Amino acid sequence: MSIKNIIGQQMFIGLSGHALTAEEKKFIVENNIGGICLFGRNVADPKQVHELCTEIQSLRHRQADKLPLFIGIDMEGGRVHRLKPPFTVWPPLRKLGELDAPTASFHFANRMGQELRAVGINLDFAPCVDVFTNSANTVIGDRSISSDPEMVAKHASALVRGYIKSEVMTCAKHFPGHGNTIVDSHLDLPVEYLDLQRLQDCELIPFKKTFKARVDMVMTSHIKFPNIDPYWPVTLSETFIQDVIRNECRYRGLIITDDLGMKAMSSHFSLEEIPVRALKAGVDLLLYCNEPEVPPQALDAIIDATAQGTLTAARLEESYKRIVDLKRAKLQNPEPLPYSEMINIVGHPEHLKIAAAINNGKMPEGLLPE
């Protein structure tokens, strides 16, 4: 496998609309792109999403290594909810914390995952396991389960298990925790003066719990913690990626960046520096959500850095192996369900009933223990 194809497998890109353009197909095929991230702009109705995911997966047969593609989406519930009716609309995670019934959290994720899996989405960038420690934090707000790390951990574990049972991969975010910030990393680089002991006592507790529950990925935050790494924000920090995630937390799954187009990155580092530094720090997957001209430039920058020795082939191959192993384990049947089955799962009355009960602060009736 060439270095170019190895790098391509480490990239997630966004799409422009409801169907693939000729340019997008060409880029995905020729560069062995590993993952696609869907947004509201890519979603019309279940039939369209089903067709789009089918088309995306068909491209693998023309790629170098012919692996299924990751197809990811942000579906947390509440305001981070890309799929609209007739998909079931799920309440924010805060409702799960208030209800405090892990069985309900398990079924919340499991039923949401069933609908994702039916249309061909195989990865949810969820759960959000940030601990809501700052009441002035509007970035996270009700996306957080609770201000109690043990409460977040308990329900995050149930959510991960629910997604796994639905055959949808999961991603805990935003490591090591976005619950204390005021600044939105979409707009600028948040700086937090917490030390590692504080993170161990609070923010890292739910992440460690999801790791034990076998979450497939963890997403790095674009936050700078000068008392832990005075030079680099988490996404670009070997201290966080290697020392904290890999060694302290003993996590062996995939590490993905948050969107590298956010101002927290693009306003402080060059387009060429960002992907090279992130990979050098030890991340496995690079997420590019919006600007279509950026992934080709990032790809060239990584290839140049490898040729110059700034990045080693061994570092890239290590991540590539993790990606291939996960895809072979979890994506043996990457196609969406047949359309006739899919339409009976999306917006199922039982799912609507569960979502409504949780939203109203009530335990849904008839849920079996996981």
Largest CA distance in the chain: 61
Can you state the angle between helices 102-119 and 149-165, rounded to 10 degrees? 40
Sign of CA dihedral 189, 178, 81, 11: positive
Look at strands 75-77 and 217-220 and give their pairing.
Answer: unpaired
Distance of CA 87 to the CA centre of its chain: 20
Active-site residues, by number, are 186, 258
Taking a C-beta distance cutoff of 8 angstroms, is the pair 92, 76 a contact? yes
CA distances from 221 to 149, 174, 203, 257, 258 (A): 18, 5, 13, 7, 6
DSSP calls for 107-130: HHHHHHHHHHHHHT--EE---B--
Q: Are strands 75-77 and 169-175 parallel, antiparallel or unpaired?
A: unpaired
